[in-house]
Amino acid sequence: MPRMKTERAGNAFVLGGALLWGLFPVITQLVYGAISPLPALAWADLFAAVFFAIIMTVKRQWGSFADRAVFRDILLATLFLGIFYYVLTFIGLRYTSAGNASLLGLTEIFFSYLLFNVFRGEKLPTLHLVGAILTIAGAGIVLYPNTTAFNMGDFLIVAAAAVAPFGNLFQRRARGSAPSEAILFVRCAVSSIFIFCAAYALGERMVPVFSFTVFALLAVNGIFLLGLSKIFWIEGIFRISITRANALSGITPLFTLLFAYVMLGNVPTVWQLSSFVPMFIGVLLLSVPKQQFLPR
């Protein structure tokens, strides 16, 4: 029973994070008129770092960095997720469409399966594997009409998806000895410095056209989307397999469609609406606790 409760909590964390993360493209699109993507990400990371610093101070968690092994895992997670993943994705988006990028980003489920279930021998029940395939199929239905020919941008997006599981590996390992807030504080603080430097080197406008709305949207991106949603993600992968968590989070595009319709007036297409069936079934299968597959 405790194991089943742990898995259900993991499912809830991942789905909660997917719900929040579904807002990220919409909120980011709303600030593009005032600032370009790379500095927007850097500012969001900075807001998130401040948010985590306040939480750590209130909870008195600064001693979490005393263990050098844990700090090394946090830095490696930052390297793979906070820097490699976002830089590859950003450069890739210069050369490919958002539809291609979203579809190819789903290959992270495949790379996670290779790393954790093939090479590291973690077990994935058949029902969960079927659920993962249905989730990918549903997301593919959402994004298929927007796909174009393969190009260098596509390759960079796939490369980003390939490095993400390594970051999640170190992130999950660090969570065994350090709280999520400490992991994410380092990740966001280091990433913001690096991305600010990269944006400056690329000649991007560093400071947005100031308005209260832009400031509020950047703060929401940092505190809730790069902040709270990532706490949910780390707490989720600490309780369930990363392959299963990635598949569950494949429902994120559907949340994005809903938010885009409400906030931007983007009406979903027939293809997008038809994806609900396989995605819904896939999420239901993935939500079944692994404990139920074991003999009683």
Tokens of 218: 């950047």
Is 93's pLDDT higher than 80? no
pLDDT at 144: 66
Confidence of residue 295 (pLDDT cuts 50, 70, 90): very low
Task: Give 51-58 contacts, CB < 8 A, sequence gap 24+.
Answer: 51/222, 51/223, 51/227, 52/181, 52/182, 52/184, 52/185, 52/188, 52/227, 53/185, 53/189, 55/181, 56/179, 56/181, 56/182, 56/185
**Domain ranges across the chain:** 2-293
Beta carbons within 8 Å of 162's beta carbon, 6+ residues apart:
107, 108, 111
pTM to 2 decimal places? 0.76
Is 60's pLDDT higher than 80? yes
Distance CA 74, CA 230 (A): 14
Distance CA 286, CA 12 (A): 11
* Region of poorest pLDDT, from 107-111, 150-154, 181-185, 262-266: 150-154
pLDDT at 296: 39
Count of other CB atoms within 10 angstroms of residue 39: 23
Count of other CB atoms within 10 angstroms of residue 103: 22
pLDDT at 293: 47
Supply the DSSP string of 84-131, one letter for each residue.
Answer: IIHHHHHHHTTTS-HHHHHHHHTHHHHHHIIIIIIIS-----HHHHHH
Distance CA 41, CA 87 (A): 10
3-state helix, strand, coil in the chain (%, to 5): 80, 0, 20
Of residues 269, 271, 17, the one with CA closest to residue 138: 271
Mean pLDDT of the chain: 80
* Region of poorest pLDDT, from 204-213, 215-224, 282-291: 282-291
Average pLDDT value for residue range 262-287? 73
Q: Are 160 and 84 in contact (CB under 8 A)?
A: yes
* Model confidence pLDDT, tens digit, residues 210-264: 677 778 888 888 888 888 888 999 999 888 888 788 778 877 777 877 887 888 7
Q: For residue 293, give the amino acid letter.
A: F
Confidence of residue 58 (pLDDT cuts 50, 70, 90): very high
Distance CA 21, CA 45 (A): 14
Is 1's pLDDT higher than 50? no
